[in-house]
Amino acid sequence: MALRDTALRRDMAAWSHYVADDCIFSTDDGVLETKAQFIEHVGKLPPEYDRSVNPRDYVIHVYRSTAVINFRLTGHEQFTDTDIVSEERQTETYVKQSGSWRLVARHWGLLPVNFRKPVAVDATVYKDYVGQYQWRPLDDVEKVSVKDGKLWSRFSKEKEDDEYLPLSSDTFFVKDDVGSVTFVRDAQGHVTGYTYHRWDGQEIHVKRIQ
């Protein structure tokens, strides 16, 4: 797409041709930017500082002179010797003006992909965590099980298990979630539930019901 190519080249004059002057940019931080602010920020960055690759999974709806496009892409940001990778989805709205499509709104948000690395632990402790867990009375029940020496989680409506990958003997994460789970015990050592640690510091206390 020409719009994306011109931005990657930092050719903001050519990019501007495809973008309405009053275009709304809503960032993954929830910040609103104007076209001028977007040009000022992106235009001065070297391409390796902030670039995107592999746009895919397109969903396109056209309503006469308006088009809405949603897609996924992979972002890369270079910090010294570190390449920070982010998976995100974007939604773009275009309006046809004088025979040409012009961007009038863009919103993007990060997808929950966990880049933590699991550690080696004694898997015999996993049997203590087997059971059913519930976040709230009306929520799906989560079943935690052990298969092939690994700890797995599945909610009632899901078709596949998610592997709980260990950060320690009692704390785990899954690949498509940026939070973590820490199992808790009572005074007798029995597992009574777990604490889900959200990425923003908030906690959810989940009860073991069976």
pTM of the shown model: 0.82
pLDDT in tens, 132-176: 999 999 999 999 999 999 999 999 887 889 999 999 999 999 999
Name, in order, each residue with C-beta under 8 angstroms of 113's C-beta and a sequence gap of 6 or more.
Answer: 86, 87, 175, 176, 178
Q: Cα(151)–Cα(69) distance, rounded to whole angstroms? A: 38
CATH 3.10.450.50 location in the chain: 2-110
Architecture of domain 2-110: Roll (3.10)
- Report helix, strand or coil for 11: coil
CATH of 123-208, one of 2.40.50.140, 3.30.465.10, 2.40.128.50, 3.40.640.10: 2.40.128.50
Q: Which pLDDT belongs to residue 1? A: 74
CATH 2.40.128.50 location in the chain: 123-208
Q: Cα(183)–Cα(170) distance, rounded to whole angstroms? A: 5
Q: Cα(56)–Cα(89) distance, rounded to whole angstroms? A: 10
In this predicted structure, the answer to whether residue 68 has a pLDDT above a threshold of 80 is: yes
Is the CB of residue 192 less than 8 Å from the CB of residue 207? Answer: yes
